[in-house]
Structure 1
């Protein structure tokens, strides 16, 4: 199976998913965002992935009725003086 390139833009209230080679974007409303144990999870109001898709770049995909996007939170860079 060929991996498709997908861009994910997460806004405050909306997530936009654009697949390479397609001229249409899929949009979904953000139902909520949670950060737990170094992982950020964004819950959407609809599916934006297909059953064979498990990853969109840094985002891991889950869900059968709605899509849950999750990714590790960026670690802060220590600054020494």
Structure 2
């Protein structure tokens, strides 16, 4: 399984886990209450894993050059705007 497929499946599992947690809150009579804590713990684990995979996918080397360039450019622009107001001299 490629890294992209793993990340996509982790994101889908995270979305499904969020849906399942909300469903469990709305329909407490439709599942075994004895297993409630275990099921919630598992779903929260899936959500944490999905968040980890999303953050991991944005690490250097895992994003396209264009998206990384845009990210850097937009992080520099607000600094440049503050500096151009004359508060701090550039040279």
Pairwise TM-score range, normalised by the shorter structure: under 0.3
Q: Greater share of helix residues, 1 or 2?
A: 2
The TM-score normalised by the length of structure 2 is: 0.21
Q: Which one scores higher on RCO, CA 8 angstroms, separation ≥ 6?
A: 2
